[in-house]
Amino acid sequence: MEPEIVWYAQSAFRIEVDGLRIYLDPYHLPPGQPPADVLMISHDHGDHLSGEDIAQIRNADTVVFASPPAAKKLAPPVTTLAPGQSARHGGLTVRAVPAYNVNKFRSPGVPFHPREGQHVGFVFEIGGLRFYFAGDTDVIPEMAEIGPVDYAFLPVSGTYVMTAEEAAEAVRQIRPRVVIPMHYGSIVGSVEDAHRLARLVPEGVEVRILTPISR
């Protein structure tokens, strides 16, 4: 069963698969979006943890998985997942993986997303499919242990995250079947970054460039 995947903006997605509705880093959602069964928040920056957007889709039954810094800013109940930690919800398994910068700095020696900040990506499995949501990250050594996956959501805009060229290197390490570029078009980067990734990935990998439906 292939999932239904909707992209809103930046790194915000809705994935519906095996009867479960999963939101990733909701941001700039248009009104009237369906409620979340599961919500995953990679870190606490405003374009990933948006209280207004979360309030629209979260209800009493929503299960929330969040990185440690994000969990501190969310109302309970929240399952906090630091890098390397895992959890389960019904047929869904979720593992938090590291997400950090190695060459993107806000000032000399100070990365936008430091390794010690405990920002995360998520590897999750449901309905016989394996997904990797990278969060805000550069290419990092831990990626070599993630693949293969069916779907990989990778940032491509540079400045704060991987460039398209760096994302292509991540693809070679992760070995996804389908790549969905993200983190462009709202703050930095454009759809050309996504198309550049499509030209750089190994043969046989599908790069699926989605049209956003943000407000």
Give per-residue pLDDT as tens, 107-157: 998 998 999 999 999 999 999 999 999 999 999 999 999 999 999 999 999
Q: Sign of dihedral through CA atoms 146, 175, 150, 185?
A: positive
pTM value > 0.95: yes
In percent, the amount of the chain with pLDDT more than 70 equals 100
* pLDDT of res. 215: 73
Burial of 34 (0-12, 13-18, 19+ CB in 10 A): exposed
> Which domains are delineated in the chain?
4-207 (3.60.15.10)
pLDDT tens profile 149-185? 999 999 999 999 999 999 999 999 999 999 999 999 9
Per the CB < 8 A criterion, the answer to whether 132 and 151 are in contact is yes
H or E stretch including 198? helix 191-200
Q: Taking 80 as the threshold, does the pLDDT of residue 58 lie above it?
A: yes
* pLDDT of res. 205: 98
* pLDDT of res. 1: 76
CA distances from 5 to 68, 82, 87, 176 (A): 26, 26, 22, 16
Q: Taking 90 as the threshold, does the pLDDT of residue 60 lie above it?
A: yes
Q: What angle do CA 83, 187, 119 make, to 5 degrees?
A: 10
Strand duo 92-98 + 120-126: pairing: antiparallel
What one-letter code names the amino acid at 24?
Answer: L
* pLDDT of res. 98: 98
Burial of 79 (0-12, 13-18, 19+ CB in 10 A): middle
